[in-house]
Amino acid sequence: MSEHEKSAGATGESPAETDVHPTRARMLALLGTNPNYFGTLPGVGFEAVEKLAADTTYEALSCVSYSPERDRLEATIEVRRPTGYSGPLCTAGSFEYVRFWVDYGTGWEDAGVSVVNVHDIPAGTDCAGRRWHPLSYVVGVDHHPKRRWCGSPVLPKVRAILSWGVEPPSTPPPASPADWQPVWGDIRECRIQIRPRTFWLTDIADLVGSSVLDKVIAQLPPHLKAVPAPTEPDPGPVAALPLPEMLEASRRADVPDHRSMVPHLAQQKVLAGPTPEVFLGSANLLKGLDIDLSAILDLLDEGKGDTTYEELRCLGLDETASALVATFTVKKPSGYAGGPCTKGSTEYVAFWADWDDDCSPQYLGTVEVAVHDYEKVDDPGLCYAAVLPVDLGALRRPCDEARLSRVRAVLSWGTPPSTTDPDAVPYWGNRIDRHVQVAPGLPYDGTARFTRVGGVPSDNVSQVTGLTSVGALGSLPVVIANVARPVAVGAPFAGWVHLQGPLDPALAGRTYRLRAVSDSGSEHVFTTAFVRVSPSGALVPVTPGADGALIYPGSAQFDAGELGRFAPGGDERWTVYLEFWVGGSWVAEAQAAVRMDNTVEHVELQLETAAACKMPAGPVQGTLIASDLNFRSWSIQVLGSNPWPVTPVAPGSGLPLSTTVPAPPPGRAFQIDFTGAPPCGYVVRLWLNEDVVVSSTYPVRSTNDDQGLCLV
């Protein structure tokens, strides 16, 4: 399925915009009684009642893409209607989940899930009379790619599964989670490009063959053989192809001269306004290349807005990354000034926003994305994300004042788009407009405060208990903002606790520190090094002074408001103070409580194999212990070269066991059926899942215990 095909699934007849499908509002209750109610989870022992899959009436995926510079997967969601999302702003609303899968050629690999909170937002029009809906949201996950050197390009396929209200599964059931279809949602695929790493000795095998390489390595001294291969992207700089060589290669690929010459003409300032001096310089440059400069300029003027080689497809707001994200496709294998071992060329994306809905768009910035020629590019092309961080803190409003805005992206190959005229049309590229919603929140007011505690919005962490809470409004969902994952109310924290604050200009430049005090009286000044992210996506190491002192960040330098982190261990409650140096002493101007839980109580698995090394395929009984103060669920998984789906049942009755009820000591008896399983060695794994926010990132702490068996 291509990334730009029509949305999967049927939408049926279009009812009035305010009507909601009768089973949509009851979906979770229906699935709770029959997980296969809509026919999307076959093979679990339940018959479908009302078959419905990948319905895109209410939401759809318009793009899936990747930012090579930021190593981030992005998916753009269209929320199409004003109603059908479980309530207006100031209520819990509902969630749109997107799970990403990546295929490097050996099958689909789970790349993670992200989520955005959506609501019923009344229909209306902007200042230009355009309808607000559909609203464009973006969700993403950071990706740790498999890299190779530039001579062996890595162009994997990525799949995104959008599902309203239900998180797409990452493990069976269903038998193939990457092929799972949501009830309401969509599926999109596209190929992406991974930034190469530095060339390494073993990469010679790509050029001379592995047998020759083995002989070379055998003659190396031991200390060279032990040097690990580099994993970081190639730092460059990479040289551009010489103009004659680039033109020759482009002409062989039938790339027209008025395409190939654009970066060079832009560099010589010919496109900015020809003068006698400019023409003299360009004439010397083009001498002997059989180039008609006047004809090229005429063709460019006649063909502005050409999308033969690249095209903007999607644009939206990623609240998790505090960024506008534009997705464009590189459509052809050639026409980009050189292969991946050269400098290639640049796609520029300029961003504009009419935040105040007064039809006066504001220029926000331009993002550069490197692109190259490849031997083969599948239809519809390679999908790239251009990510521009935006200071959303300055745009927040209370939840009873929806902030809807029109945004624009302008794509231009080879030469930057205009920064003064939002209506200017590029030579090669296009522009698109979309409507976005800025999530509610407190606007900047010069007040020091924590915006996130352990990854969770500070409003959703109780100042009394230090546990996640419903917040001051009493109904907002609790979400780990860093990765956009819902977390249970009443959850403690474990591992690293990160603290973030507003990038308020009134606070930027002041000297601050973080200090924590536990209920038992222990004191901790934050001196641990951490990392901030620059607007360009670069990671900037930060090391506090011996007294914890740092300079408060501003939005021009950083895009996440990271203030510091600590990992106190234990299970105590801590109070963290944000202190500023005022008049020769430290003065606390904000505080937050955080309850730690770094102890796992009980997780144990025993199989009744009678100490046999090998067993016949059939029912296997055992006992499991899975309990904790913050118990969420337990599950059993069977691993091996032939993974076997199992459903734990009660011995004797055969009734499925509830995995959401704790199994405290001395444990609960269970039975799993291996009848028909191929002879093989298997690992039976018990998972205990707890509602604990782990290292400011994961909403669930999962601990396992394994037992092995061999079937004959």
With tokens 């999109």, the residue in question is 188
How many other C-beta atoms lie within 10 A of the C-beta of residue 360?
10
Q: Which amino acid is at 84?
A: G
Do 213 and 158 meet the contact criterion of CB atoms below 8 Å apart? no
Number of other residues whose CB lies within 10 A of the CB of residue 350: 26
Quick one: average pLDDT of 691-704?
A: 92
Residue (of 314, 384, 356) closest to 78 by Cα position? 314
Residue 224's pLDDT band, with cuts at 50, 70 and 90, is: low
501-558 confidence digits (pLDDT tens): 999 999 999 999 999 999 999 999 999 999 998 887 788 999 999 999 999 998 877 7
pLDDT by residue (tens digit) across 51-64?
999 999 999 999 99
Query: Is the per-residue pLDDT at 468 higher than 70?
Result: yes
The pLDDT value recorded for residue 473 is 39
Is the pLDDT at 5 greater than 50? The verdict is no
How far is the C-alpha of 385 from the C-alpha of 315, rounded, in Å? 9
Q: Where are the domains of the chain?
A: 27-195+308-438, 243-302, 452-595, 602-711
| Phi and psi, residue 277, nearest 5° | -65, -40
| 3-state class percentages of the chain: helix first, strand second, coil last, to nearest 5 | 10, 35, 50
Contacts of 569 (CB under 8 A, 6+ apart): 596, 598
Per-residue pLDDT at 640: 80
Q: pLDDT (tens digit, 9 = 90+) per residue, 473-493?
A: 333 456 666 566 778 889 999
Q: Could you give the percent of the chain with pLDDT greater than 90?
A: 62
The span from the CA of 592 to the CA of 192, in Å, is: 41
Given a cut of 80, whether residue 643 has pLDDT beyond it is no
Dist. CA 179–CA 189, nearest whole Å: 12
Output the pLDDT for position 8.
38
SS3 assignment, position 504: coil
Lowest mean pLDDT among 102-116, 196-210, 671-685: 196-210
Answer yes or no: is pLDDT of 658 > 60.
Answer: yes
Residue 249 · residue 374 · CB < 8 Å: no
- Please determine, for residue 14, whether its predicted confidence score (pLDDT) is greater than 60: no
The DSSP symbol for 373 reads: -
Alpha-carbon distance of 561 to 399, in angstroms, equals: 22
Count of residues in the chain:
712
* 235 band by pLDDT with thresholds 50, 70 and 90: low
List the single range of 64-68, 77-81, 559-563, 574-578 with lowest mean pLDDT: 559-563
Greater confidence (190 vs 203) lies with 190
- The answer to whether the beta carbons of residues 403 and 392 sit under 8 Å apart is no
Say yes or no to pLDDT of 9 above 80. Answer: no
What's the pLDDT tens digit per position in 246-303? 888 999 999 998 898 888 877 765 555 555 655 555 566 666 677 777 788 788 777 6
671's tokens? 């039975």
Name the amino acid, one letter, at 451.
T
Answer yes or no: are the C-beta atoms of 140 and 114 closer than 8 Å: yes
The domain 602-711: what is its CATH number?
2.60.40
Distance of CA 534 to the CA centre of its chain: 17
Q: Is 467 exposed, middle or buried (0-12, 13-18, 19+ CB in 10 A)?
A: buried
Instruction: State mean pLDDT over 561-586.
Output: 97
Which pLDDT belongs to residue 243? 85
CA 324, CA 10: separation in Å to the nearest integer? 30
* pLDDT(17) > 70: no
Q: Which of 158-162, 189-193, 422-426, 593-597 has the lowest mean pLDDT?
A: 422-426
Residue 3 pLDDT > 50 = no
Q: What are phi and psi of 520, to 5 degrees?
A: -85, 0
Looking at 415-429, 459-473, 663-677, which range is the least confident one? Answer: 459-473
pLDDT for res 284: 64
Residue 237 has pLDDT above 60, yes or no: yes
Kind and range of the H or E element at 253? none
The predicted model gives 92-113 an average pLDDT of: 94
- For the cut 80, the answer to whether the pLDDT of residue 424 exceeds it is yes
Band of pLDDT at residue 568, cut at 50, 70 and 90: very high
pLDDT score of 295 = 82
Per-residue pLDDT at 103: 98
Q: What average pLDDT is seen over the chain?
A: 88
Per DSSP, the residues of 598-621 read: ----EEEEEE--TT-SSB-SSEEE
Q: Do residues 651 and 669 lie in contact, with contact meaning Cβ atoms separated by under 8 Å? A: yes
Q: How far apart are CA 182 and CA 235, in angstroms?
A: 41
For residue 231, what pLDDT band results from cuts at 50, 70 and 90? Answer: low
Q: What is the pLDDT of residues 329-369, one digit of tens each?
A: 999 999 999 999 999 999 999 999 999 999 999 999 999 99
| 433 Cβ contact list (under 8 Å, min separation 6) | 130, 315, 406, 407, 408
Q: Is 165 left (phi over 0), alpha (psi -120 to 50) or beta?
A: left
Report whether pLDDT(15) > 60.
no
* Residue-level pLDDT at 239: 82
